[in-house]
Structure 1
Amino acid sequence: MPDPNSNNDSVSAGDIDVAVYLEARNQEFLYNSLPTIFYISFLSVMGLVGNSVVFMVYYKRYHASSAIRYYVLAMSVTDMLTNAQILSAEVLEMRFHNTFRWGWACSIFRLTRSFLVGFSILLLVAVAVNRKQVCSLKLKNIVKTASHDSLSLV
């Protein structure tokens, strides 16, 4: 029974069905977050297309078995999985902001997000270490050649 002293303009969650109330909140949140959902969807599509192109180019064109080729292939696969899984999960969570009923799915999304981001970090560190080794070897050769040339001039 409604309280006679309460303001009739506000409706509490107890006066209506909770499921209807939560769905109304979902629709309101969806309406407010549509630009974000469109932007995340655009990023996901562009990431999938871009990483697919990178994968195909490095897989088909570069046949030399260098470490960088494998790093780039692994990074493109990791980024494709990230775009497909993480960004679509974000859109799904935004769509069902108040009524997302699959708790196990949230746990799997968080676990795969942590794994994929951690793997991307490891790949970037491996590329950086590899590039440092290559650049330091080239720098040593340049210094050695320059010192040899300068000694021969004297």
Structure 2
Amino acid sequence: MLPTSLRNLCAVLALTPILMACENGATAYMIEGSQHALILVREQPYFWDKTVNQALIPSRLPSCQRRVAIHPDRTELTPIEVFEAGDRLWGVHQGNRWYLVSTEKCAVQDWDNAQGTAPGPLVGTFRLKEGAIAFVPAGQ
């Protein structure tokens, strides 16, 4: 019979691969240095969930930093394109959903972009890169 502490350690080690299957990650599109950014957060609370909770954080310190939940995604990240849409305003596109993100008003909202046209030039895409979420600037 194993001592209790050794049994507990074995139980934790046995669960480690299962717990590691959960996704908890974040990455940022740095706009003007580290003080101005759009941040994507993805969290899968349980390994058996087929969806991942997502949030966008418009950040322009010290005036703005707010976490806003957006629609969940599947466990395999659907790429998220980021477009310039105006002064401190971005159009964000994932699958068939569009969002407007403002670091001026510190807001994220659903956008009914019926035409599906980009509001301005593509600045980059949140996507998987070497197995982790990353922001990849346009043209790379």
Give TM-score scaled by structure 2 length.
Answer: 0.26
TM-score by length of 1: 0.25
Higher helix share: 1
Point out the structure with the larger strand share: 2
